[in-house]
Structures are given as structure tokens and as C-alpha cells.
Amino acid sequence: MSEATLIKPDIDFVKGVIAAGGESLKKCYQCATCSVVCNVTPDKNPFPRKEMIWAQWGLKEKFIGNPDVWLCHQCNDCTAYCPRGAKPGEVLGAIRKQTISQYSKPGFMVNLVNSKLMMPLLFLIPAIIIGIFANFTAPEGELVFSNFMPVHYIQLIFVPAFMFGAIVGLMGMMSFFSDMKKAQGISSGNLVGSIKALIGDILSHSKFKSCDVSKDRYLSHLLVFFSFVTLGIATSFGVLYIDILHVDSPFSLFGKGAIVKVFGLIGAIGLLSGVFLMISNRYKNAGKVGLGSYFDWLLITIIGVIMASGILSWVTRSAGLAEAAYLIYFIHLVFVFSLFVYLPYSKLAHIFYRSAAICFNKYSGREAAPGR
């Protein structure tokens, strides 16, 4: 017989998971249907059945350095087939939120960002920061956004905001990776090969394709992902024009800096369709898997507002509606700032942690070959 194990339940962790959208957690009776219907789970020690009992028992330390909650793409095949309505997909989402706070420092930011009560503050603070630099005394003359907020101010605010988000996320990602190595007892592997395979997975969205219930998410996530890539390219061209070629904005679709506009427009339309699909998929599958938690909707809302305000600010500017254009542009800036700063604390943190987990799974050899 093995030695007796002393179980130390962390009640706060259980409560946290329940509060974060895992209220069905305690319904699980460990039949393991979920681990079998899941198409992305490994054969050895599959998830999410074991995560369900760890979370029920408050075994928080089991989740430290554990890649499995991040291997889940929450396609909710498990939730649809769960005989008890325990919604493993939602519970794993809630656990992910709980574990983000362990790696994205300072951890309290995760709860702050994802608390309904804090929502006004969440956008008020960025509004104040941007407000300080903005020219609210309705600039006279030509309707140009740089009259409202000079480009060098934008760079002064948004470059550090983005760097902050990215650095916190990358640091979290690295500490998660080293925790995984420690916890799973893996000391070496093919890191470069794993990263290459990871990038292949991300570009092809191969994991999403294996889902059954939420198959449509493949397309919506693909659209959102590549739209962000496209918008990133647009931004790079913008930087190129302004800082290197010294061509001032505004750019025009048929004039100077057209390439910025072309990429911007493609990105905006892609994002619009992607977010629309995401929302409609959620409603379509709500009967089977639920609508999702605040954590999910916060990100959808931020992206949705960025996209809508981006397009509208362009439209109102072109229409010469100064007041509306400046106001909408202000909202746009506030939400982009929020996206950057809250990057490692919101659901978007999955960029770091899911990538790390998939990469580790390849690194450790648990996932034999890409596209298994």
C-alpha cells in the first residue's frame, strides 16, 4: 500500500473557481465522459476529469506547473456530453482565470480586471490617463485626430502600455514554463522544434478543428487572430510612415499611406466578422454549453468596442462630424489602451499561457507529433 496522503483543501481556491464561472463544479461525479469526448486531450493522464476532482477538493498546488488546463480550448464537447451538467469546459475556464493570477504579476490585478464591480474603474483609469494628454477644447480647423491627440503622445502612452502588457505576460509565461518543467520532472527537450510546431499549430488553428460542438469557433477565432495580425501590420506601416519616412497622418485609402488603410480596413472587417461570429456562436450553443462568464465577455466587449469605435471614428472623421469623431476616437484609444495594459490579466493572457502549455506538451514528448 502507498503511504497515506494528507489532503489540504484550499477552500478559497474552490470558492474562487466557483465565483469565476465554475458554479457547476460540485456536480461532477467523476464518470470521465469528458476525458473521452475531448478531442484535444492526451491519452496519458487526460483532462478534464482529474482537474474536476482537484478543483472540487481545493488542491490548488496540483495546478501549479500543470499544462493541462491550458491545453483545453474550451470547445465544450465535454460540457455537451456531461451527464451531470457539471460543465467541465466552464470550470476549466474558471481555473485558468485562477491560475493566471499566479503568473501574471501582480496577481491581484487579475481579480481586479475580472471583477464586475471594478468595471467602471477599469475603463475610468485609462480614460483619465488619455484624457490628460488629449485636447478636449474641440480643436478648430481641419478634422485631424493628431489635433486631438498628437502622434508623439500616442507613442508615449501606447508603446509603454503595450510593453508593460507584453513583458508581464512574457515573464509569466517563462515562470509558468519553468514550473511545468519542475512539476512534470522534465529537464530537457527540443525547445526550438517545439516552438516551431507550436507556431504551426497556431497558424493552422489545428486544435480548433478537432472540436465537435463548437466547430464554428475555428473560423471565428481564425478571423480574429489573423485580423489582429493584419492590424499589427497596419500599425507597423504607420510607424514606418510617421517615424521613418516622416509622412504625417491622416492617411488616405486612395492617397498617401494607402497601405496602412488597406491593411487597417481588412483587419477591421475581419475583426468585425470574427467578433460577430463569436457572439452568435455563443448564443447558438448557449443551450448546450452556456453563454460564458464575465471573463469571456469582458474580452469580447473590449475587442468589439475597439473594432466598432475604430471604424466609426474613421466614418465620422470622413463625414466631417468633428465632435462625434473626437469622442469616438477617445473611446477607441481608451479601449486599445485597456487591451494592452490588461493583456496579461484578461482572457487574452491565453496568448502566453496556452502557447506555453502547448509548447511544453511537445517539449515533454507527451504530444507525440503535431496534428496527432
- Contact residues for other proteins (CB under 8 A)? 29-37, 41, 43-46, 49-50, 81, 83-85
Three cell numbers written together for 315: 466614418
In this complex, which beta carbon is closest to other proteins, that of residue 152 or of residue 288? 288
- Min dist CB 191 to other proteins, Å, is 26
- Min dist CB 33 to other proteins, Å, is 4
The end-to-end CA distance of the chain, in Å, is 37
In this complex, which beta carbon is closest to other proteins, that of residue 4 or of residue 132? 4
Cα–Cα distances (Å) from 341 to 165, 184, 200, 238, 324, in that order, read: 5, 32, 28, 21, 26
- Min dist CB 76 to other proteins, Å, is 14
In this complex, which beta carbon is closest to other proteins, that of residue 30 or of residue 135? 30
In this complex, which beta carbon is closest to other proteins, that of residue 45 or of residue 155? 45
Give the dihedral sign, CA 265/329/304/155: positive
- Min dist CB 27 to other proteins, Å, is 9
Residues 6+ apart with CB under 8 A from 16: 94, 98
In this complex, which beta carbon is closest to other proteins, that of residue 30 or of residue 318? 30
- Min dist CB 42 to other proteins, Å, is 8
In this complex, which beta carbon is closest to other proteins, that of residue 34 or of residue 351? 34
- Min dist CB 203 to other proteins, Å, is 28
Three cell numbers written together for 272: 468585425
Q: What is the DSSP letter of 149?
A: S
In this complex, which beta carbon is closest to other proteins, that of residue 43 or of residue 61? 43
- Residue 251, number of CB atoms within 10 A of its CB: 20
CA distance 89 to 362: 23
Closest CA to 353 of 119, 162, 68: 68
- Min dist CB 363 to other proteins, Å, is 20
CA distance 318 to 65: 51
Give the dihedral sign, CA 83/89/90/95: positive
Burial class for 127, CB neighbours closer than 10 Å (0-12, 13-18, 19+): middle
